[in-house]
Structure 1
Amino acid sequence: MTIEESFYIGYVSKTRGLKGEVQLFFEFEDYADLDLDVIFLEVNKKLVPYFIDTVKLHNNSTAYVTFEDVDHIDKAQPLVRKKMYLPNDKLPIRDPDDFRWTDLVGFVVIDEQHGELGEIIDVTEMPQQFIATVEMEDGKQLMFPLSEDLILGIDGEEEILEVDLPEGLVDLYKE
């Protein structure tokens, strides 16, 4: 299996104890829905399968796992910081009505005052809110909170986000 035939879910963050248990950190949002019987770790640009004996999922995007044939810390240590992948056929199917802020990546932002601003290239989760980053025509990046107070409408078909950004915010980024 190649990286193109798989999707990234996170990485091995550290070892735990002396019996080969490791902690996984998931960067995949729906990690609880993943089928974790075997995961593939990237070793020397190749994906190597690791079969899971036990898995304990936690609410903080982590899990404690033991792999078959990894029964000592010395065998587990080389796995730390390795990226984890699953085959594309194990990608969980999301309900079409399950909308998330991160789904706005690729949408064009149109401001009520300034017109078309550019395309959303990133949505970052901050402690209090989500922040959208827009690539503007002049190559500069504009950041604004994805607050319901600022959003006038979302057109999922046309991939357009209509906003009314605070006065002066766009001008601040254009300077």
Structure 2
Amino acid sequence: MNINEAFYIGYLTKTRGLKGEMQLYFEFDDYMDLDLDVLFLEVNQKLVPYFVGDIKLHHNSTAYLYLEDVDHVDKAKELIKKKVYLPNDKMPERDPDDFRYTDLVGYLVVDEQEGELGEITAVQEFPQQFLATVDFDGQELLFPLSEDLILGIDEEEQVIEVELPEGLIDLYREL
């Protein structure tokens, strides 16, 4: 399986104990709905399957797990910081009305004053807010995804209309 046939769910953060237990940090919102019997770890730009021996999910976007054939802390240490994927056919179904800020990746940003700014390339979640990254004339422009700044979202046309604070775009032009 290659990366195009899978979706990213998180990465292994650390070992625990001497018997190969590891912590998995989820960067996938609906991690509680995932079927986690086989995980694919990115090793040398290839996806390698690992069968899950035991897993305990926690509510803080983490899980502790044992992988089959990883029965010692030394074997587990080799897998730390590896990205974890699942096959695309294991992607949980979402309600069509369940729209999230992360769904805005690929949308065209149109500012009320400046016009078209570019396409959203990433959405990052921080404790206080979400930040959108826009490809603005070859450089990254960041702005908060706040209800105060969003004028409208056209899901069909994949356009988000915003009114960014005065001077924000000028800062990026000066860089």
Question: Deviation of residue 97 (structure 1)?
Answer: 0.8
**So what's the TM-score if we normalise by structure 2?**
0.89
In 2, the alpha carbon distance for the partners of 1:155 and 1:84 equals: 32
Aligned pairs for 1:1-175 (under 5 A) are 1-136=1-136, 138-175=137-174
In 1, the alpha carbon distance for the partners of 2:93 and 2:47 equals: 23
Question: Deviation of residue 70 (structure 1)?
Answer: 2.7
1:116–1:61 Cα change, 3 Å: same
8 A contact 1:140–1:174 mirrored in 2: no
Larger radius of gyration: 1
**So what's the TM-score if we normalise by structure 1?**
0.89
Identify unmatched segments of 5+ residues in structure 1: none
Letter of the 2:117 partner, please give it. Answer: L
Q: Deviations over 1:86-133 (max 9, x none)?
A: 112111121111111111111111111222222212211122111112
Question: Deviation of residue 37 (structure 1)?
Answer: 0.9
Letter of the 2:110 partner, please give it. Answer: I
Question: Deviation of residue 55 (structure 1)?
Answer: 0.8
Q: Report the number of matched residues.
A: 174
Question: Deviation of residue 81 (structure 1)?
Answer: 2.2
Identical residues among aligned pairs (%): 72
Identify unmatched segments of 5+ residues in structure 2: none
